[in-house]
A and B are shown apart, each in its own frame.
Chain A
Amino acid sequence: MLTLPMLAVHQPKSVDEAVALLRDIPGARLLAGGTDIVPNLKYGMYETGNLVALRGISRELRYIREEESELRIGAMCSVDQLANHARVIELFPSLADAASQIAGPQLRRMGTVGGNLCLDTRCVYINQSHFWRSALGYCLKKDGTVCHVVKGGQRCVAAASNDTAPILVALGAMVRLVSPRGERIIPLDDFYIADGVKNTQLARDELLVEARIPLAAARLRQAYGKLRLRQAIDFPALNFGVTISVEEQKVAALRLCVGALAARPALVRHVDELRGRPVSTPEEIRALGQELGLRAQRQCKPLTNIGVDPEWRREILPVLVRRGVERALLS
Chain B
Amino acid sequence: MNRGAGRPNHQRVSAPSQTQVLVTLHINGETQSVAVSSQATLLEALRDGLGLTGTKQGCDKGDCGACTVLARPLDENAARASGSSSRGEPILSCITLAQDAQGLALTTIEGLAGAQGLDSIQRAFADCGALQCGFCQPGMMLSARALLDSNPQPSLPQIQAALSGNLCRCTGYTKIYEAVQVAAGMRMPSHARPVRSEPAPGVDGPRVEVKEIAT
Q: How far is the CA of A63 from the CA of B180 in the complex (A)?
A: 33
Q: How far is the CA of A53 from the CA of B3 in the complex (A)?
A: 36
Residues of B within 8 A of A107 (CB): 62, 92, 165
Residues of A within 8 A of B143 (CB): 105-106
Q: Mark B59-100, 1 if CB is under 8 A from A, else 0.
A: 011110100100001000010011000000111100111011
Q: How far is the CA of A35 from the CA of B4 in the complex (A)?
A: 30
Q: How far is the CA of A144 from the CA of B81 in the complex (A)?
A: 46
Q: Are A5 and B91 in contact (CB under 8 A)?
A: no
Q: How far is the CA of A9 from the CA of B96 in the complex (A)?
A: 12
Interface residues on B, range: 35 or more
Q: How far is the CA of A47 from the CA of B37 in the complex (A)?
A: 18
Asked whether any CB of chain B lies closer than 8 Å to the CB of A59, the reply is yes
Asked whether any CB of chain B lies closer than 8 Å to the CB of A150, the reply is no
Residues of A within 8 A of B8 (CB): 47, 143
Q: Are A42 and B60 in contact (CB under 8 A)?
A: yes
Residues of A within 8 A of B162 (CB): 105
Q: Are A35 and B62 in contact (CB under 8 A)?
A: yes
Knowing A53-B100, A107-B92 are in contact, say whether A9-B38 is a contact too (CB < 8 A): yes
Residues of B within 8 A of A137 (CB): 2-5
Q: Are B17 and A31 in contact (CB under 8 A)?
A: no
**Residues of B contacting A: mostly:** loop
Q: Are B2 and A232 in contact (CB under 8 A)?
A: no
Q: How far is the CA of A107 from the CA of B95 in the complex (A)?
A: 10
The contact of B97 among A6, A34, A138, A231, by CB within 8 Å, is: A34
Q: Are B19 and A8 in contact (CB under 8 A)?
A: yes
Residues of B within 8 A of A138 (CB): 5-7
Residues of A within 8 A of B4 (CB): 137
Q: Mark B159-182, 1 if CB is under 8 A from A, else 0.
A: 001111111000000000000000
Residues of A within 8 A of B164 (CB): 104-105, 231-233
Residues of A within 8 A of B103 (CB): 55-56
**Can you list 8 A-B contacts with CB-CB less than 8 angstroms, sorted by A residue number?**
A6-B19, A9-B39, A38-B62, A59-B78, A104-B65, A110-B91, A110-B95, A233-B63
A residues at B contact (CB < 8 Å): 1-2, 4-9, 11, 31, 34-35, 38-39, 42-44, 47, 51, 53, 55-56, 58-59, 62, 78, 80-81, 103-107, 109-110, 130-131, 134, 136-138, 143-146, 231-233
Give me the 6 closest cross-chain CB pairs, A-B, nearest first: A104-B165, A232-B164, A7-B39, A38-B95, A137-B3, A4-B39
